[in-house]
Amino acid sequence: MALATAQVADKTPLTKEERMVIVASSVGTVFEWYDFYLYATLAPFFAALFFPKGNETAALLSAFAAYAAGFLVRPFGALVFGRIGDIIGRKYTFLVTIMVMGLSTFGVGLLPTYASIGWWAPIIMVTLRLLQGLALGGEYGGAATYVAEHSAPTRRGYNTSWIQTTATVGFFLALAIIGGCRVGMDKEAFSTWGWRIPFWVSIALLGVSVWIRLKLHESPIFQKMKAEGKGSKAPLTDSFLKYPNNKYALLALLGATMGQGVVWYTGQFYALFFLQITLKLDFLTTYVLIGSSLLLGTPFFIFFGWLSDKIGRLKIILAGCLIAALTFFPMFKALTHYVNPALETFQYSTQITVAGNPKDETFNLFVGPWSKFTELDRVNDFFGKQGLNFTKVAPEPGKMVVATIQGKNPTTGLITTTRVEGWSTASEATLKKTLTDLGYPKEADKSKVNYPMTLLILFVFLIYVTMVYGPIAAFLVELFPTNIRYTSMSLPYHIGNGWFGGMLPLIATAIVALKGNIYYGLWYPVIVSLATVVIGALFLKETKDRDISTYEH
């Protein structure tokens, strides 16, 4: 009987209510992602505005740390708002989350710089990021649960995949508005105040999103649960302290969302930072390429959501993780080849070594007034921000650090060797002059960029993202019973995406600086993705045919 009903539902068109639910949930969620990603996109730009001047990698890491703070707090938002959503209702909860997100984002646009108020600037910024993270921690689970609970059983993958497009569409909207501001303003004006405009725009988007969501009604499955008195009085306890719910929450994290998170953030954000920071491609070209890949790839969220209704969610998610892990290294190396071939040639023709004691290096994830940087750290920082690989060798007796550059002078044809001891303004100038003399490309030559191949690689990254992300909402909704669904699905999702995924730019940047290889940061998403494939294949089962109106596993 259930199967016959499902088949009929699959053949009937979307109802007016289903369409309204999808549109209203998606529009609001697009706005929240737009808000959240404004900071991520602008982080390399305004690192110098909100953090002290000096070590550029330190400033960038500081900006990424504030960026990561919003991700780190997302699981706590999942706990707070997930509990409210399971007790009071889905609609009310994500009305609150959208208000918190919108107002905290607008606040970033009003924030004074480090030059005006000193360390209060990054402190307030981190506070606003924490509020954003809390709000987003409650938003996603509510939107996914709300849409799934309004959907016909055989359309859950398709319907919830529209929610999955919102992160990418929000990212695209952020790129478009930031790019428009930067193109329409001179560099000095944008640096002074123009960067605030995208944050100010969010207040108008907030008004539209709230107006649309006020038109929604509560989920019918939730209303039925409340009417029957089957709701959970302690969703946190029932989700994470009672078996088997706690087992499924842990497996959802390790066998699905952990790998999905790192594949997503590598394919979109790390690719963006890699093009702009490492390969020295100008911001406008980078935005156009990333934006084009987003436009081309976004329909595949819907495709893989639809496909998951036919063949299952889990196999698509794990296949995406596996393919991504096996190809990230060669594809990022191909990006270097097609975007900045002069940098690739320089890497092969120039030998750079840094002699120092590993004990004098620090692995800086969270940079602040407490951070200390040795001379060796500063040399590593110098080569890292040039996008150059270097080899680490044993320290020389009595010397903290010795940097050596050997290569052929393109003008004279002679092999030259430059040796610099210690770190100072003079030694930095010597290293810069040496690199210039050897033909180091300070920025990518746009006339030498292979645009079709670059776009193809970025598009493939997006296909990976859509494979792992398109079916994940339906999978998580179906994994947990109605009375604890909002809470149970939100926590593993936001740990996987907020901690494992959101920390990726920060961790990868720090690894690259420490190891002296521009590709070394990719080991992080590769290892995490492979772990997810193994755990998910061994311990999780398909969910697409489950009845989501039940109150137990």
What would the 3-class secondary structure string for 54-83 be?
CCHHHHHHHHHHHHHHHHHCHHHHHHHHHH
Rounded to whole angstroms, the Cα distance separating 420 from 422 reads 7
Q: Among 40, 23, 57, which residue's Cα sits nearest to residue 388?
A: 57
Residue 326 has pLDDT above 90, yes or no: yes
- Within 10 Å of residue 470's Cβ, how many Cβ atoms? 30
* Cis, bond preceding 525 (omega within 30 deg of 0): no
Rounded to whole angstroms, the Cα distance separating 51 from 121 reads 8
Q: How confident is the model at residue 472 (pLDDT cuts 50, 70, 90)?
A: very high
Which of the listed ranges 44-53, 133-142, 365-374, 478-487 does the model predict with the highest average pLDDT? 478-487
pLDDT of residue 6: 38
* Domains of the chain by residue range: 15-338+448-539, 343-437
Residue 552 has pLDDT above 70, yes or no: no
pLDDT of residue 88: 81
Paired residues of 351 in beta bridges: 406
Vertex 375, ends 372 and 380: CA angle to 5°? 95
Q: What is the pLDDT of residues 260-298, one digit of tens each?
A: 999 999 998 899 889 998 999 998 899 899 989 988 999
Rounded to whole angstroms, the Cα distance separating 217 from 17 reads 10
Asked whether 308 and 459 are in contact (CB, 8 A), the reply is no
Q: What is the pLDDT of residues 390-410, one digit of tens each?
A: 999 999 998 889 999 999 888
Residue 39 has pLDDT above 80, yes or no: no
Q: Among 523, 489, 507, 553, which residue's Cα sits nearest to residue 140?
A: 489
Rounded to whole angstroms, the Cα distance separating 298 from 106 reads 27
Residue 4 has pLDDT above 50, yes or no: no
Q: Among 291, 254, 282, which residue's Cα sits nearest to residue 447?
A: 282
Return the percentage of the chain with pLDDT > 90, whole number: 35
Rounded to whole angstroms, the Cα distance separating 491 from 140 reads 10
pLDDT of residue 303: 96
Asked whether 162 and 304 are in contact (CB, 8 A), the reply is no
pTM, to two decimals: 0.84
pLDDT of residue 429: 94
pLDDT of residue 414: 87
Rounded to whole angstroms, the Cα distance separating 220 from 549 reads 10
The dihedrals phi and psi of 234, each to the nearest 5 degrees, come to -140, 75
Q: How confident is the model at residue 203 (pLDDT cuts 50, 70, 90)?
A: confident
Paired residues of 416 in beta bridges: 407
Hey, what are 337's tokens?
């080849």
Hey, what are 68's tokens?
């990561």
Question: Which fold does the domain 343-437 belong to in CATH?
Answer: Dihydrodipicolinate Reductase; domain 2 (3.30.360)
Residue 259 has pLDDT above 90, yes or no: yes
> What CATH number was assigned to the domain covering residues 15-338+448-539?
1.20.1250.20
